[in-house]
């Protein structure tokens, strides 16, 4: 069998087998795919060090030419169809496994004397050599995968707008980088001939074209789902263990519609705010905010418009509150605002500013303004515990509603009049006294 045909057959068998196992990952688990990648890593490194095929353009290593480019292509498939976290996992597993192999081999040297078996003499030096090569290769693999994702997402799109073109550009550039640095380690540790450098690079570029074609066929005809793209700025975060945790933390405790903190967080943070205020002898205030006649908006314009009104009001509330205040969607059309270090008079002024900002906001879906009513209660004047503070703020909100809506009421203070009410009161005074 000719050397070229041998390498080609090896590459095809490797990729087709691994792609078939990857396709079955929902049934048998992606761990099977990872285990096979790990098993092949030793063979790939061993063949890269000792098995060469001579072709017209130089010496070619079966491990570096057929198996390693195929592994990169499969890792790119893992990134495209799953995520960067999944692509990262086998790399860390390989690195940890290689380090463990060297440590265990070093421990065996503590046993003396070794049994001398003529047919099977222990070659711990070979294990050391292969272990160092595998560690070096795995470290390069981590860099390779990072570069592969960046090039695929950004540079590949600049060079070509086809999927196969992007895959080829990514693989060819990364394999060129890897050939330079892995061959340096291979030459130093395994005395690989210099003739293998150029031949290996040519073969890797050809392998990039072969695997790009096979990977494209898989994406077009086997798993024909839309291919995701990610901003290059997201790639580095996606390659860390923090990503899924931070994403989960952001989702937990958030209202799905408005993105504000939800009732659960309010129930936790409200008492905590009061405890902090009590320890530091500082005031604190709570605002309960309700959108006026929201049911009429839903009934007249429909729930999709009502949802947009909720989001618009939430955005406006978030934009005018103090940086230290915390805003929550309490439920339905009601919001709550925790205001640390804010006494009663200042809280009333802040609430009036919020009310005016909301009432002046235009809503494209409506031919009428949207107003809010706000009830305010303050610690320690109106309550010594959070349950009482919440009840007093809620009572003040109902008072604002009863007085005609679009106003601010405090549990122990007079309600703030709207500009229209102040004008009406002024006209009444003029009619009575004959002067403003």
Max intra-chain CA distance, the chain? 124
Whole-angstrom CA distances from 80 to 227, 238, 284, 356 are 7, 13, 50, 49
- Which residues fall within 8 angstroms of residue 407, CB to CB, at 6 or more apart? 355, 373, 374, 400, 415, 416, 417, 418, 421
Q: Could you tell me the domains of the chain? A: 3-111+122-247 (no CATH), 253-433 (3.30.70.270)
Length, in residues, of the chain: 436
Half-sphere exposure of 288 (CA within 13 A, CB side): 24
Structure confidence at residue 120 (pLDDT): 59
Provide the total of helices (H) and of strands (E) in the chain, helices listed first: 18, 7
- Which residues fall within 8 angstroms of residue 147, CB to CB, at 6 or more apart? 173, 174, 177
For 312-353, where are the E strands, in sequence order? 326-331, 334-340
Cα(433)–Cα(230) distance, rounded to whole angstroms? 71
Half-sphere exposure of 39 (CA within 13 A, CB side): 8
Alpha carbon dihedral 6, 9, 11, 13, in 10-degree steps, equals -140
- Taking alpha carbons only, the member of 68, 67, 58, 70 closest to residue 197 is 58
Cα(111)–Cα(121) distance, rounded to whole angstroms? 15
- Which residues fall within 8 angstroms of residue 1, CB to CB, at 6 or more apart? none
Strand partners of residue 254: 261
Q: Tokens 């905590």 map to which residue? A: 272
pLDDT along the chain (436 residues), means of 10: 77 93 90 87 76 74 81 88 76 78 73 63 62 76 83 72 86 89 76 74 90 93 67 51 55 85 94 94 96 94 94 95 95 96 94 95 89 96 92 95 94 56 41 35
Using a 10 angstrom Cβ sphere, with 0-12 exposed, 13-18 middle and 19 or more buried, the burial of residue 204 is buried
Q: Tokens 């549990």 map to which residue? A: 411
Q: Is the Cα torsion angle 408, 414, 416, 418 positive or negative in sign?
A: positive
pTM of the model: 0.52
CB neighbourhood size of 197 (10 A): 17
DSSP class of 148: H
Query: Of all helices (H) and strands (E), which one includes residue 58?
Result: strand 58-61
Structure confidence at residue 424 (pLDDT): 45
Decide: 54 and 42 in contact? Cβ < 8 Å: no
- Which residues fall within 8 angstroms of residue 309, CB to CB, at 6 or more apart? 291, 294, 297, 363, 365, 366, 370
């Amino acid at each position: 069998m000719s050397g070229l045909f041998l390498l080609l057959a090896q590459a095809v068998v490797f990729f087709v087998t691994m792609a078939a196992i990857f396709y079955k990952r929902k049934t048998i688990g992606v761990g099977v795919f990872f285990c096979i990648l790990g098993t092949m890593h030793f063979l790939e490194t061993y063949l890269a060090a000792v098995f060469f095929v001579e072709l017209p353009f130089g010496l070619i290593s079966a491990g570096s030419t057929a198996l390693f480019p195929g592994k990169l292509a499969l890792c790119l498939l893992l990134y495209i169809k799953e995520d960067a976290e999944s692509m990262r996992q086998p790399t860390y597993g390989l690195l940890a496994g290689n380090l463990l192999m060297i440590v265990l081999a070093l421990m065996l040297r503590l046993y003396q004397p070794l049994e001398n078996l003529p047919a099977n003499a222990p070659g711990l030096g070979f294990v050391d050599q292969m272990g160092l090569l595998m560690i070096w290769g795995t470290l390069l693999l981590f860099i390779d995968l990072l570069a592969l994702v960046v090039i695929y997402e950004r540079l590949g799109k600049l060079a070509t707008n086809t999927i196969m073109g992007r895959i080829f550009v990514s693989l060819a550039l990364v394999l060129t980088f890897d050939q330079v640095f892995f061959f340096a380690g291979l030459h130093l540790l395994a005395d690989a001939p210099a003739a293998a450098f150029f031949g290996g690079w040519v073969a890797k570029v050809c392998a990039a074209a072969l695997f790009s074609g096979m990977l494209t066929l898989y994406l077009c005809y086997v798993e024909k789902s839309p291919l995701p793209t990610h901003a290059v700025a997201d790639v580095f975060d996606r390659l860390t263990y923090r990503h899924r945790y931070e994403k989960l933390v952001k989702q937990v405790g958030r209202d799905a519609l408005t993105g504000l903190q939800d009732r659960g967080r309010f129930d936790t943070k409200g008492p905590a705010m009061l405890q902090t205020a009590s320890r530091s002898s500082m005031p604190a205030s709570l605002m309960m905010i309700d959108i006026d006649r929201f049911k009429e908006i839903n009934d007249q314009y429909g729930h999709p418009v009502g949802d947009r009104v909720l989001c618009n009001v939430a955005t406006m509330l978030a934009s005018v509150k103090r940086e230290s205040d915390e805003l929550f969607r309490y439920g339905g059309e009601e919001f709550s605002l925790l205001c640390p270090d804010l006494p009663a008079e200042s809280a009333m002024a802040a609430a009036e500013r919020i009310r005016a900002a909301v009432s002046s906001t235009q809503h494209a879906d409506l031919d009428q303004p949207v107003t809010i009513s706000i009830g305010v209660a303050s610690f320690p004047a109106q309550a010594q515990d959070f349950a009482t503070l919440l009840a007093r703020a809620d009572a003040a909100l109902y008072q604002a509603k009863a007085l005609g809506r679009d106003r601010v009421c405090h549990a122990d203070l007079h309600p703030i009049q709207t500009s229209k009410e102040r004008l009406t009161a002024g006209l009444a005074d003029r009619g009575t006294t004959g002067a403003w």
